[in-house]
Amino acid sequence: MKRIPVIFLLLFCISGSLVAQKHNLQFIFCSDVHFGLTRASFRNTPNAPAVAVNAAMIEQMNKLPNTHLPLDGGIGSGEKVGSIEGVMITGDICNRQEAEVQSATLSWKQFEEDYLGKLHVVNAAGVNSPLWLTPGNHDISNAIGFHRPMQPWVDKAALVGIYNLEMKPAIPKTSNDFDAKKDKIHYSVNMGGLHFMFVSAWPDSSERVWMEQDLKKIATNTPAFIFTHSDPIPEARFFQNPNGDHSVNATDKFENLVEESFKDGSNVKDNSLIEQRAFVQFLLAHPNIKAYFHGHTNYSEFYDWKGPDSGFSIPCFRADSPMKGRESSKDETKLSFHVISVDPEHKKLTVRECLWNVHPEDPLNKIAWGMERTISF
């Protein structure tokens, strides 16, 4: 029998250990890209359209793989970011087509041009990182109508586009056969021993029926994470109109974005306490849900939601908007998206605020890092 040289045995062992090694996973998370809007100013350009602002943000995203994470003690501290396993965008892909705002059809086309045409990050397999989208209130209102005039009155393009991209029907839907009540956009992704749940608008009682079934497909100790548009405290207007014929109308101003009827009152200014408590009970029944990611309120924040009563808490991560940021719309150096780093082996997750426009007049415009939070799951 031939003897294998020691050097080859060493190389074999080293390569084998590299294959078996578990690597950190990196994701990009942002929200409320609002195609159809303009910023008052961006990089000395007045009335900058969303297609240009998002293209600039995407250019910075493309730099991430060769960017080093900060020395902050979080997952991958000081290491090169490397591959991006997925890009999450939690809704308001298109702005509501009111007044001077363009149609959802044009806005969705511009979104595709930017995010499908200009985003070039790849995953560990070397293929384009998947886009994981959820619809926001503007996307849904464009498709079902609103209590103020829109032009056109209904345009399903964004919702149909999101549905076809994420739900992958055998025969792609069109605006003619898409039914917002039946063709729900909710799905999950398993990666690195984690379970990501992408939920439409807000996890109301109707969405939680699907979530219950989805969670039955994984072990009860598999860490799960919710990505959705609204923060955990939903606005009354999101729910089905409890009044009269339950329609979307200018008197009641409910928007019928989710299937659950509002139970706390009859006015859009009422608090959603009953709905929040029901969601808390769902989370308590599923302790493997470890964090909640959302947009809608348009500023970057890492916080704990404690529910309307005591005795409960879940980590939450709120994303900025490149077009409507509460702070970044006034100060463009505060524009941000989030980078999520996951260590599956040690069951930890770090979310970092990536400030992508700190030096707007510098052609190199290097990425800077803001807040950081690490949680254990």
Domains of the chain by residue range: 22-376
| pLDDT band per the 50, 70, 90 thresholds, residue 23 | confident
Residue 54: is its pLDDT beyond 80?
Answer: yes
Taking the alpha carbons at both ends of the chain, their separation in whole angstroms is 50
pLDDT tens column, 331-351: 999 999 999 999 999 999 999
Residue 6: is its pLDDT beyond 60?
Answer: no
pLDDT value of position 364 = 84
Residue 16: is its pLDDT beyond 60?
Answer: no
pLDDT tens column, 62-96: 999 999 999 999 999 999 999 999 999 999 999 99
Strands 25-30 and 86-90, sheet pairing: parallel
SS3 180: coil
On whether the 22-376 domain is CATH 3.60.21.10, my answer is yes
Q: Whose CA is closest to 38, among 28, 27, 26, 50?
A: 50
Measured CA to CA, the distance from residue 325 to residue 297 in angstroms comes to 8
pLDDT value of position 5 = 45
pLDDT value of position 365 = 87
Q: Do 198 and 190 contact (CB within 8 A), yes or no?
A: no
Alpha helices in the chain (DSSP H): 6-20, 50-61, 104-111, 137-144, 157-167, 205-215, 273-285
Write the DSSP symbol of residue 289: E
Give the mean pLDDT of the chain. Answer: 94
pLDDT tens column, 98-121: 989 999 999 999 999 999 999 999
Residue 277: is its pLDDT beyond 50?
Answer: yes
| pLDDT band per the 50, 70, 90 thresholds, residue 363 | confident
Q: What would the mean pLDDT of 276-282 be, rounded to a whole number?
A: 98
Residue 48: is its pLDDT beyond 80?
Answer: yes
Strands 289-294 and 224-227, sheet pairing: parallel
| pLDDT band per the 50, 70, 90 thresholds, residue 310 | confident
Burial of 6 (0-12, 13-18, 19+ CB in 10 A): exposed
Do you find a cis peptide bond into 152, omega within 30 degrees of 0?
yes
